Structure 1
Amino acid sequence: MMECGARGSSRMLCSGPAIRRCGRCGAVAYCSISHQVAHWSYHKEECGRLEKQMMNAHLLHHFPFPFSMEATLQVVEKKVTRCSFLMQRNLHLLGMWKHECNCGASVSSADYLRVNDEWGLQSLLCPCQEVPKPMSVCLNNWRSYYDWRSIPLNSPVAVLLHWPLTIYHSIQLAASINLLPEISNKLLVHYLGPDKELCQLSVFKELHALFPDLKLHIELIGPAVPQFRNGERMTLTGYAKCLEIDCYCKSRAENGGRYPFDKSSGVSLGFHKGFYHDLFKDVLKESFPHVIIAPNAGIAAYSSWLPTIELIKDMNVPTIITDYCEEAAYLAASCITTVTSRPLSIPVQLNPFRQPLVMEDTALYLPCYSNCFIFGI
């Protein structure tokens, strides 16, 4: 249910559901005329900007998948839910898919303890094996990824693979404007503020395919890291597995889990519970990053980001950030430029590898997607 735009900024109690939308931008709704009038002194500063964002909202829904209408506009219009989308594909509350709807929102320690390693899909529909052909050009959208991996576009794997593909795209963005230092065979990433991907760690196995010639080490740092994972190290081998018992991916696992990856490549994870600005001295003793990535950061919404932005400014490390909608990215960019006193190195832009399943119950009528907009310091 949409929240009243004046909630928290007015001493008056809301009188009911927020169904009265701003006649100009259409992005904000109110419970009553009185709340709308009371909120205008604040909203008038953002109304024109939100109007432009709403006019371009249709671009966010553009995906190459046959299920795109179902996963985007029909969810926005309440004709479909994230739950029903997953149920239709027999993936609801299954393994890595469990946390893609409100039913799986409450995470238990048991979910963190095990690494769910199955797609719950037939081998034809998921990347359960090594890549038969090398990447000839950089991937720049979901269609190019699906073509390269020989996965049909009706497969829903992009709903989970937006995590590793956003890492891939972030590194490509940083490299495209010469922000990354020269890398020989090892790439170190500091990944700030992980949340539900902590229960979907197997999707990061796809980084084997995306960076076949690199040793990729990712330090996951944030308050959502469970205490028992604090300080843990994990090596990801192979790929997440399909449903088929006789698939090649299962026979590899039965033979000791050995995958024919080059010794110069590999993907490993480290975990740190807490805020980056509190932990950075200890983390930097182990690895100084080539790049920092902060997914769905919400920088303008959380004051805890301010000392982290100050730190990043002093470290002078390329930092790629994503957020759920253009307004959140705009507010984050304003906050960052105020703190750093310099413009963004990568302007706010649409992430071609955003999750192709729209978020539910958002604060604005602006459509929101996980890892939707991307920008850099």
Structure 2
Amino acid sequence: LQTTSTVFFFIDLVLFIIFSLIFLLRLIWFRRQAGAELFHVSSQQPDHDNNTDETDDDLGYLAAWPLVWMTLVAFAAVIAPELGQHSQTARTVSHLAYTAWWIGAAWTVVTTLVILAVPLLSSPPDQQPKQKILPPSTVFPPMALAFVAFIGALIVSNLLSATATTTGLSPPKLATVPVIIFALCAIGAALFMSLILYPIILIHQLTTPLAITHSIHTHQSNPSQLICTQFYLVGALSMSAASLQLLGTALSTIPGNGNSPSTPPTNGAAFLTNTTPTLISVPCILFALLLFGMASLTFLLALITLIYTACLRNLQWTMSWHGILLPVAALGLSSLQFSVELGSSFFRVLASVLLVLIVVAFLVNLAFTVWFAWKGRVLIVRDDPRTSSKQVEWDHLHKFM
């Protein structure tokens, strides 16, 4: 486990540095166009015949940057306990992981505020109001917040409880309680943001035919965007469920401070009493089951919509499809945790099925990415479709069914 985690950690670190540099260089080199796209300053001519406005994807995907940062923290949290007891390297890695988690948490919150504030403030007051069409990336911030909570639970479980004496993060309550409180707040924010966004997306899908073809002349929404958005909602709900499960498990492994329930809590002692495992872990599992049920229903609805749209031969591949891997993985992880905590064979089989779906989705996305990169349509774009007069041909090139 240590060798595998270390290898993947360095691979993830190298990829994070490379793509972060590419992103920053492109942002600096094309700062005017990037600013117009990120902050939704459209250069297209206004459509007087349609009262809808399809917002850009670029701004919402900024939440993917701190999300990837959190994957590095996750690898560090897994590696640190495996480095040996009383090891200076283990202490260094654990402290770096703890600090990096707080940096990522603050980064995610600031990014979420920017993503939510820009659409609210981007429309001029004298402009005729339009019905905004939410892109899939709108659901990325709650998924990123839920992922922050999950990594926080991993920090508590791996670094601050079982290995508190090993890694030097002691006394554990001084470092544990702030992480627990922030993780629970992040889960609440992710959950209620998802509950607010879900009816908006569902109403838009009910009023938008799936058989239409996306075109700049009709300004109709892309059915693939709606499907990706549904899968992203699965990620916010299932990741919240997995975070609650892991938080409940982590709280049950933290040694109490000996306080009785009648003792006034000080310095976060309310989370570290001898009765904490019973009072917290069981409600966490119960609420995680509720979230898992909603995530499963959303996943099945997205899967049915995907199959139906594919039968209509109206499914288009875009880079947004890469984002469905994390939601399905979160659902599988939650299923795997339920199989352990509840001793259920059903959840074990479900986790295996979801793992197969993840592998298939990864291979399909990889194949289309390589194909369109070879054609000069993604990654290294030879003919930018945003400035090309052949926009309609670009749309048809993306069709694969």
TM-score higher than 0.5 here?
A: no
The structure, 1 or 2, with the larger RCO (C-alpha pairs under 8 Å, 6+ apart) is: 1
Higher percent of residues as helix: 2
Which entry has the higher C-alpha Rg, 1 or 2? 2
Under TM normalisation by the shorter chain, which class is it?
under 0.3
Higher percent of residues as strand: 1
TM-score by length of 2: 0.26
